[in-house]
Amino acid sequence: MLKILQPGRPKRLGGLLSECLCRYSSDNTDKKPPGSGENRGQAVLVKTPPGEKAPKKPADFTKEDLQWRKPWHEKQFQYYDTLRTFYSEDNNASTLAWIQQPINLSPKAIKKWWARKKDFEERFMQQYIPERHNILGPELAAAHFIVYRGGAVKFHDENKWIKAIDGHYELPDRYKKGMHLQAIDCTDMNLRYEGLDNLRNLKNLEWLSFNSCKHIDDWCLDVITNVFSHSLLYLDLRNCFKVTERGLGAVYKMPHLKVLYLDDLLKDTRYEMTCLLLEELNPQLTIKSDVIDFEIK
């Protein structure tokens, strides 16, 4: 080791350097480089510096060592625990499969893409808007929602139906006390499941028609029977081809219903049995399938 020069003990710098060089040369004379002389052809052990881990052999590698990042569903943070409900191990695989698909620019593929885009836009535009209901109230907000999309409504104590003509209709643009919807006609409307939220909190609705609404299905019928179970008297489900006997069974939750219009009571054995059970549970209910025509003026 180098000695520290202390005051009062002078020593020449040349002598000190020569002493250090002599000690270094004497310590390294007996050491031979690996792979030379007698050690050639023999395995050489390399010591790992202190504080560092020894490198793993290929057989010691595990699956976790080969992962470049930890999946979301295995992380322990709070927000990852919340996202774990919507995350699965197949998400990465499905995303990669979608990226690797060839781009299809055929007319049929473009038509399907455009249909999906329009479907998404329609669902988004029919979502419940709290601000509209706060300004208009549930009755007028539902009336604006239906009439704007081609439907018709009728209020209690009024003899006329309100329907848009060339995109124009007459409805109050602010809340008006005493206006309660009695009837809603959604014939040929492009009504979605998301749009049914705009029909909630209607107190005295008695007449409701979904004739030729192609998107009304069993899920929609479950919402309808829950929302209008307290007041509905008339329900028209003709030309709603997605409604099956499973959705039709939810009609039992409307004890005040008197008239139910369907397409064909005998189209299926289970469908026919469901209709018979509904009439047995509700003696005042009449299920019809005959053609009716009426004009809204």
**Residue 214 near residue 242, CB atoms below 8 Å:** yes
Does residue 92 sit within a domain?
Answer: no
212 domain-assigned = yes
Strands (E), 4-161: 152-155
Q: How confident is the model at residue 98 (pLDDT cuts 50, 70, 90)?
A: confident
- Would you say residue 258 lies in a domain? yes
Pairing of β 259-261 and β 286-288: parallel
pLDDT of residue 81: 52
Residue 104 lies in a domain: no
Q: What is the predicted pLDDT for the residue at 8?
A: 47
Domain total of the chain: 1
By CB atoms closer than 10 A (0-12, 13-18, 19+), residue 73 is middle
Residue % of the chain over a pLDDT of 90 = 46
pLDDT tens digit sequence for 195-254: 999 998 898 999 999 999 999 999 999 999 999 999 999 999 999 999 999 999 999 999
Q: Is residue 148, in this structure, part of any structural domain at all?
A: yes
Are 184 and 205 within 8 A, CB to CB? yes
Residue 22 lies in a domain: no
Residue 16 counted as domain residue = no
Q: How far apart are alpha carbons 140 and 143 in whole angstroms? A: 5
Residue 241: domain span: 123-156+180-288
Does pTM top 0.75 for this prediction? no
Which CATH number goes with the domain that contains 136? 3.80.10.10
